Amino acid sequence: MSSLSERTRWCPPEKSPVLAAFEERCRKAKQQPFLDETLMDEREIACSWSDFKRPLLRRYNLQGSLIFIDVVGYGVDGIVWRVEVGCRIMALKVFWDNEAPEKATQYWALQRECQNASLLQMIQFVTENYPDSIWLKPNPRTFPDATPHDPASARAASMARPQSSPILAQLRSAKTYPEQTAALQALKNEIVGHIQKKEAWIGFGVLEPIVLTLSASRSPAKPNGKDARTQLVSRPLSDEDSVKLQALQLVASFANGGPAFLAPVHAAGVVPAILANTCPLSNPPQLVVAALRALTDIADAAALAQPSSPLDTSSLADNVFSPQNMEALNVMLSISSPKHMLQSQVNLASGLISRLCREEKHQHALTTAGVLDSLATQLARFAVRDGLVVPGAEEHAYADGLYEVFPEPASANAKIGPILEAIAAILGDSKYRSNRLVYSPSLMAVFPSVKFETAESYGPQQAAALTAMDYILPSMPVTGTRNQSGPQSSFPTPDRSDSRTSSRASLSRFSSAAVWDSPRNQSSGNGSDTATEDIESPLIPWLIHLSRTLAEYDRLMAAAVIAALFKAGLGRKATRETSIGFLVVPILVGMVERNDKDGAELEAPVNVTQQLILETAPAVLARLITDSEFLQKAAYDCDAVKVLTKLLRRAYQPVPEIDQPKYWSPQSDTGMDDESTPAMAQLGAKGQNPLLAHRMKLREVSLRAIGALAAGKEDYRKAFVAEDFVPYVVESLCEFPRKPKQVKERSKDKQGADAGRKGPSPAYGSNPVSVIIAACHVVRMLARSVSVLRTALVDYGVALPIFQFMTHRDVNVQIAATATVINLVVEVSPVRELLTESGVMKVLCEHAHSDNPALRLNALWALKHLVDAVGPELKKACLQQLEPGWLVQLICDDTQDTALYNSRLKEAAGDDFDEDMDMQPLDEPLRWLYGSNGSIRELDASRSTKLRQAEDKLSAIREAELNPMRRARNDDIAIQEQGLDFIRNLIGRPESGASSETPSETTEMIDYLFTELGQDRLFEILASKLRSRMLHPFSRRTSTSGREQRVLHPQAKIIVAVIYILVHMAASIPRHRQLVIAQTELLKLLAQQASSKDREVRVALCHLVINLTWQEDDAEAQQCAARAAELKRLGFHSKMESLKLQDRDLDVRERAKTAAWQIEQATY
């Protein structure tokens, strides 16, 4: 016997390598996916060899309730129930283990059963749908022997040339509808799930007879009222309808083949043929649904199409959103029936809108045609169904004349997500469309804007008018009003103009308001809580409630609509910022974090919902937090920095090449695409890799969200840099990116890196314009931080790539790159000299002559920074390069009228301001449409006070947003401001490190400016900026005679720019001060601005008085006294006294005190 010590030292023998390898294979096998979240569809089952290697069981579409009858039996793996589903008796297997067993060699019953069921499905589909014989070799002993048993291989091996197939002969010779149906059915069975056969049939022109079948004449019918309701009811299909149904399903199957099929689809005229079958009033529901599915499949293929494709998303949208087809969309979106076939039309139509509506012209067309109102009615039905209608809404609807549009409740199987997504797609960045949604009749009926008073409403905490919907949200902490901008950083950000006068007068900085990155028509109402005219619409808190209670996809779309409404200025900003910051922003960040799982993209099948969330949530987050310090902080507190940088890193993971299964065919593929072959029989270019296209979208949206957050505090920018994300931004600045590398790695590979970037890499693709623009914006925001600019951005050498993009072929890239240069040429920038030596001044001056107002604005803005604190030689060279005459043209009064009347002339010549958009005349009355189950009618607004009030407000918003006169004027004012600031910096601070005799350089530049522009001309231009002007009325469709004129008052930002030019002149030598004081008319206009509501105007005016009453030495005493006396005569002394005592701003009071004291001292 062994001793105790020997027994305790005993160890089990080492595991056999064979057994260990077997257990490892078992573990990996149990980790393989076996479920597919897509619904089972017996019409389309892929049966390639790769599908058989990894079978996936699709989700069963449960129709009706599930009734348990009794237990059939049970065993080691689970239990079997007999159940009833929709009047059908089925067996339901319930397994004990919902997770893989820990024991390596024990199989997972749930996985095995699902895989077996999927294999049986594929085998059944192939054997039932393939018309020819499948020959099998008995008793297979090797893999090649068993290959024919694989149905995919058997189908490929037995595939015959379509010309000799009886199917083609039957299709061509069919004379009756049943014969056509049989032929099309056989063809569908032939191609479904088999990409090679689809390609072969396209090559032999099968699309032509299919399109002829779809284009067969049908007697037009447009029933109304009860007839419309009857038409929507499902009925047996006629023989002609059966033919068309098979043809539509065939077209959808071909479109499923991918972007390569778009070229023949376009050449054959498939899209118009499909659209001819989409009207629910003249086609049975089955045909409408099939047509919508075919269009959806084509839209999905178009989203991945190459730029050379004749059918892309934009051209497809032009077809779908024509006036006739939008009428059909309105009919579909009026359906409230719970029948599955009719509800499918609502979901598919909404999905089609969200896929295709990307451009302003389509968004406007859908709004004008009433589609937005139809979607609003569908949305209101969910509030009625869920019992979340404002209490007393029906009574208010009666009183307001809106009861006829009070919607029916949505059915139990209705889906809110597609409705919200379509609404968000139409709203875009438009304030008018956002207001149009809120004032839609159905939503006003369900959500009347009335104050909801409870017993607690009379307390001091409830001073603000709350609606009933506010009470379904959690109570929010009381926070201070955030409508005023918070305290500014003591260190100037490069985006702010920071020119100063001489050291004698320390000027406060003023902030340029012309930020082109912000929406053109950003609401002023969103920046302040007006103690106000209207109570907030209950729609907004209801949407916030939806974003908290719905499933992932649905809540994301609710947040997208919230973002559009919030950025349009709807809602009380202080209250809504709080609720959005605490309730919506954390959901969006958490949504990205939950769905950003490593390796999830490579799993089969692709989780479409997960991809959509990752592509949409960062974009919605970016839109919400832009220009909102509170929401930026809310995102930062939710770890958005880490979440977004992780998403950007994921977007740069290499994409494996697509391994398409290759099928053997007895026929050669050569000679199919020669010149004699018609276009409808030739495949087009293969589209983008779907995973790579997804990664491109992730790059764009993550960069947009990063840019929106980095625009906030310095801490946010430093946090991003600490996450080591700059290499990914640098690669986003490359058209052909590669693997992101650290600084050390880049320095080693620098020589051969650029040489190998002559084309896209299969693993990383090529960055589209949208990614480059987003990356430029991120660099611009990071460059606001001087420390980041001097370290990370310099280390990675971002300056030269940005400079190269200033001459990119796409003007939008030029605009973004020029906007970035604004922050790279400031005084503190270490790359300023590098860019100057590279010729940035020449490019900026060329852009300042551009016809594009955005490019012109950004170029002037950058030039303003470039001439700040540099030597006189560079300043003079810049003015000469810009051309003094052109600078005068940019800032003089006549420029505005020229821009306006040029727009008018373009329209008269047929060159519409919005290109081919069919704009609704600005003075045309608004149309209100309401539909119910196919019956569409126009509402009479005169019967409702609410609708008339809404029309007045919407007309004003529409005119402000769409009127080219106002848009041209806004562009011109922003450009004028930057042009005046350019002059200010041109005569402002001398070069850094100059001697104490700074006035000499200032004097030199002022005299040079007078010589180039003309002294009298310059002062006249400055005076013109301070005068009110009469504007001629402007209408797109009518003459201007008899229309009321309007007055355009001076803009505060223009006044500030004018005053600071004079401040710089007054900070120079006595001769220049005398020149300024001699401008009596100009000073009279300035004196009127002492009571301006704008703080910056009042501060600048105080600085001007201080500099004009400054005495250089005793020799200037007499002149100083004369200037002070003139200021006193013009009323400046009394103005300064009033500001000193009564102004609400401490800085203004202190500056006014100094100004008043200097006037008194000089005239004593």
pLDDT tens, residue by residue, 690-701: 999 999 999 999
pLDDT at 531: 37
Of the spans 394-403, 527-536, 890-899, which averages the highest pLDDT? Answer: 394-403
The domains of the chain are located at 20-136, 171-218+235-320
Name residue 94's beta-bridge partners: 79
- pLDDT for the residue 483: 42
**More confident of the two residues 498 and 435:** 435
Confidence bin at 87 (pLDDT 50/70/90): low
First-to-final CA distance of the chain: 123
Q: What is the token pair recorded at 446? A: 């369900």
Instruction: Give the CB-side neighbour count of residue 311, counting CA atoms within 13 A.
Output: 30
Give the pLDDT of residue 895. 45
What is the pLDDT confidence band of residue 602, given thresholds at 50, 70 and 90? Answer: low
989 within 8 A of 500, measured Cβ to Cβ: yes
Per-residue pLDDT of 1076-1125, as tens digits, reads: 999 999 999 999 999 999 999 999 999 999 999 999 888 999 999 999 99
DSSP-assigned states of every residue in 1051-1107? PHHHHHHHHHHHHHHHTS-HHHHHHHHT-HHHHHHHHGGGG-S-HHHHHHHHHHHHH
Q: pLDDT value at position 152?
A: 45
pLDDT tens string 358-388: 999 999 999 999 999 999 999 999 999 999 9
Residue 978, pLDDT score: 97
For tokens 């914006």, the residue is 777
Residue-wise pLDDT tens digits, 191-218: 988 888 899 899 888 999 899 989 865 5
The answer to whether residue 252 scores a pLDDT higher than 50 is yes
- pLDDT value, residue 101: 83
Distances (CA, A) of 613 to 555, 600, 610, 698, 710: 10, 13, 5, 10, 22
- Residue 1000: per-residue pLDDT: 81
Give CA angle at 1051 (1047, 1054), nearest 5°: 135
Nearest to residue 547, comparing CAs of 535, 564, 560?
Answer: 560
pLDDT mean over 47-73: 76
3 state DSSP class of 58: strand
Q: What is the mean pLDDT of the chain?
A: 83
Q: Are strands 935-938 and 929-932 parallel, antiparallel or unpaired?
A: antiparallel
The pLDDT of 1064-1074, averaged and rounded, is 95
Q: What percent of the chain has pLDDT over 70?
A: 78
**CA separation for the pair 775, 795 (Å, rounded):** 17
Q: Among 746, 743, 986, which residue's Cα sits nearest to residue 873?
A: 986
Cα separation, 566 vs 434, whole angstroms: 9
Angstrom CA distances, 793 to 237, 784, 785, 824, 865, stand at 66, 11, 10, 10, 19
Mind listing the pLDDT tens digit for each residue in 603-613? 656 789 999 99
d(CA 912, CA 906): 6
352, two tokens: 């089609």
Residue 18 half-sphere exposure toward CB, CA atoms < 13 A: 0
Closest alpha carbon to 156 in 202, 106, 206, 197: 197
By C-alpha distance, which of 967, 132, 957 is closest to 570?
A: 957
When pLDDT is averaged across residues 101-117 and rounded to a whole number, the result is 83
Rounded Cα distance, 955 and 1150, in Å:
45
- For residue 604, how many other CB atoms are within 10 A of its CB? 12
Tell me what pLDDT residue 205 has: 87
pLDDT-derived band at 129 (thresholds 50, 70, 90) equals low
Distance CA(529)–CA(460), nearest Å, equals 18
- Residue 1044: pLDDT over 50: yes
Of these ranges, 181-185, 433-437, 487-491, the one predicted with the greatest mean pLDDT is: 433-437
Structure tokens at 161: 């040339």
Report the distance separating Cα 502 and Cα 1110, nearest Å. Answer: 12
Among 538-542, 891-895, 1020-1024, the minimum mean pLDDT is found in 891-895
Instruction: Kindly report the backbone phi and psi dihedral angles of residue 794, in degrees, each rounded to the nearest multiple of 5, phi listed first.
Output: -75, -45
Distance CA 802, CA 733 (A): 8
C-alpha distances (whole Å) from 901 to each of 329, 342, 473, 636 are 38, 51, 51, 47
Mean pLDDT of 311-333: 95
The predicted pLDDT at position 600 comes to 63
pLDDT for position 511: 29
Torsion 352-684-916-914 (CA) sign:
positive
Query: Minimum mean pLDDT among 442-456, 784-798, 939-953: which range?
Result: 442-456
The reported pLDDT for the residue numbered 1026 is: 95
| Pick from 665, 676, 688, 480: nearest CA to 578 | 480
Higher pLDDT, 731 or 451: 731
Beta strands at 88-95 and 35-39: parallel, antiparallel or unpaired: unpaired
pLDDT of residue 418: 97
CA pair distance 948, 36, nearest whole angstrom: 52
The per-residue pLDDT for 43 is 55
Q: How confident is the model at residue 1023 (pLDDT cuts 50, 70, 90)?
A: very high
pLDDT, tens only, 141-181: 555 555 544 444 444 444 434 445 677 788 888 889 999 99
The pLDDT of residue 124 is: 75
Please write the tens of the pLDDT for every residue from 2-42: 555 555 555 556 667 777 777 777 877 878 888 887 777 65
Identity of residue 251: V
The pLDDT tens digits for 815-866 are 999 999 999 999 999 999 999 999 999 999 999 999 999 999 999 999 999 9
* E strand or H helix at 1030: strand 1029-1031
- Do 386 and 451 contact (CB within 8 A), yes or no? no
Q: Count of CB atoms within 10 A of residue 889's CB?
A: 13
Q: What are the tens digits of pLDDT across the range 865-876? A: 999 999 999 999
Percent of the chain exceeding pLDDT 90 equals 57
